Chain A
């Protein structure tokens, strides 16, 4: 198993190289001269020329990319055009906020999605099933930034119960986490339900019933563990999407995370920060996926034995 994890970590290297290459290439299409942007419109051409040489902007594209990767490994993503601060430390300072938000969002999604999915599946076509399925359908159909604004409208503007901007206390996280988690909760509910319905029809469930296992245990012990296998993948994917979705949610709630940093950077055409933020989030996403795959192997003995061979 350790070997498998090690191999997966090694495999992550080309993926991350590919990710940085794609993002670096995309960002290189940004119009305008970075040196000019850094020095401002009124800078003398000689100064711009000098900075260009210093930054290596005249080097071939691939050299620039390799230099970027080389520096990135050392934790150096350059300096922001606007604040002139180190991009990496800017991101690192905000990253925990984004991670907390996404983690609480996923926790809410899992805490709602899995139980509701199970109840729906075990009472297929009942009233409770219909209600939760309609709820889930609305959940996947709602744009999360709109949901965030509606929550603010009701709970902050209307009722005055909860704060709607910034990250001051634990209370501040409630609305943004609900905003972020709702879509994922809906998807997890649907996935759990359909997976459960599929599993409950399997022969081994009939075997369990034929052994005299109680219906409660049939569901919670025999069916659930099998049904959760595909759900785990979805949860992992959702965590990644939440990191992306955090961009919008953080904007709505003025949440001091990487997502909002990214949006600000885009507005100010601060390419190094945009590049670094996207690379950072994609890297996190890749690590989450790796964790999910490892977890997968622990839950499903078939996969585990496949890898320990």
Chain B
């Protein structure tokens, strides 16, 4: 695995500006991803994961969405500063995306073959027939008989549709695959199959991946690195091993506390108290402080900085700036 840097996001902020207020969906996040690496982006619903993904694709619906600041460097190029036409040639080609709900992700009036062939035609110098041929190969690759190339989406089950979506996203052999909760909408048994398929193909093509999920179990199976998102911020980023063995942010601990652990004897789960803050009216200081068991007065006033507590392990919490006296432990 080459250690070449593929994606570098710095200080990215994305807001949705509506009549009823401004939703601060993403607030100054940093992400680094090397070629072939898989990053798990974890957080609750509304933490800004999907917005981040759409931001990388430059597909934030505008209006109301707006990228307020930051840099998204992909293969050394700032994606926020290239013309739309150039960005379009990257979408589906070098960066592609799998969406959450396969039931609605496919166009109901086009055959699956046409939908796979379309992305091939756009980005590769192939004619319609050759693209169709390649589409058939892609179908086989994701485990669907090529004979079904002329079928319409409604003739497939949810799991099969997600396979088609995966075929579309991998058809041009992308450098980066963004998968937004690719298995959430599927049955549990199908989830494992689809996840395996993605993992195998990713290995085969040496594709880097950002896997968006709220499921730490999935992360542990697939990812190399993890970033935990809360209220539009990355509160903790680390390698898989570091994060699972030594989680340091109170919110990350909360997430682990919410998962039943079969190895340990625990009386009861320790869910995080309270709810996600209203994104139009985020708390001052540390955005997690109202729910944090270690929160003190200063947490409401001072916004924490990201502190690197060990190599490649960053945490955004005042405890590690020495401003709050507490020891965070499982």
Binding site for B on A (CB under 8 A): 202-204, 206-214, 222, 225-226, 229, 299-302, 305
Contacts and interface: CB of A to CB of B under 8 A. Distances in A.
Interface string B112-136: 0000001100110000000000000
A130 B148 CA distance: 45
A158 to B, nearest CB: 45
Given A212-B119, A305-B154, A203 B109 contact: no
A138 to B, nearest CB: 28
Given A203-B99, A210-B57, A211-B118, A226 B109 contact: yes
B152 A207 contact: no
B246 interface: no
Contact of A301 (B59, B88, B108, B119): B108
Contacts of B97: 210
Given A204-B107, A206-B59, A300-B109, A211 B122 contact: yes
Interface residues of B, number: 29
Interface in B151-169: 152, 154-155, 165, 168
Contacts of A301: 108-109, 111, 152, 154
A23 B57 CA distance: 61
A207 B105 contact: yes
B92 A203 contact: no
Contacts of A210: 57, 59, 91-92, 96-97, 99
A207 B90 contact: no
B107 A208 contact: yes
Interface of B: 57, 59, 88-93, 96-97, 99, 101, 104-111, 118-119, 122-123, 152, 154-155, 165, 168
Interface pairs A-B: 8 shortest CB-CB: A211-B92, A212-B92, A212-B91, A203-B104, A211-B119, A301-B152, A204-B107, A210-B97
Task: Tell me what chain A mostly uses at the interface: helix, strand, loop, or mixed.
Answer: helix
Contacts of A202: 104
Contact of B108 (A204, A206, A213, A214): A204
Contact of A213 (B57, B99, B104, B122): B122
Contacts, number: 73
Nearest to B97: A210
A202 B108 CA distance: 11
B122 A203 contact: no
A299 B152 CA distance: 12
Contacts of A204: 104-108
A302 B106 CA distance: 13
Contacts of B106: 204, 207
Given A210-B59, A210-B97, 14 more contacts: A202-B104, A203-B101, A204-B108, A206-B105, A207-B99, A210-B92, A213-B92, A222-B110, A226-B107, A226-B108, A226-B109, A299-B109, A301-B152, A302-B152
23 contacts: A202-B104, A203-B104, A204-B107, A210-B92, A211-B96, A211-B118, A212-B92, A212-B93, A213-B122, A214-B88, A222-B107, A222-B110, A225-B110, A226-B109, A300-B108, A301-B108, A301-B109, A301-B111, A301-B152, A301-B154, A302-B154, A305-B154, A305-B155
A1 B257 CA distance: 58
Contact of A207 (B93, B107, B111, B123): B107
Contacts of B109: 225-226, 229, 299-301
Contacts of A208: 107, 118
Contacts of A212: 88-93, 119, 122-123
Contacts of A222: 107, 110
Contacts of A213: 88, 92, 118, 122
Nearest to B100: A203
Could you say which of B119, B155, B165 has the most chain A C-beta atoms within 10 Å of its C-beta? B119
A173 B2 CA distance: 74
B65 to A, nearest CB: 13
Contacts of A226: 107-109
Contacts of B89: 212
Contacts of B108: 204, 226, 300-302
A299 B92 CA distance: 27
Contacts of B92: 210-213
Contacts of B105: 203-204, 206-207
A198 to B, nearest CB: 13
Contacts of B165: 207
B91 A209 contact: yes
Contact of B152 (A209, A211, A214, A305): A305
A233 to B, nearest CB: 15
B115 to A, nearest CB: 8
A281 B57 CA distance: 55
A174 B155 CA distance: 47
B83 to A, nearest CB: 13
B174 to A, nearest CB: 11
Nearest to A224: B109
Nearest to B119: A211
Contact of B168 (A206, A211, A229, A300): A211
A219 to B, nearest CB: 13
A209 B122 CA distance: 12
A202 B103 CA distance: 11
B185 to A, nearest CB: 11
Nearest to A207: B105
A163 B321 CA distance: 87
Contacts of B88: 212-214
Nearest to B155: A305
Nearest to B102: A203
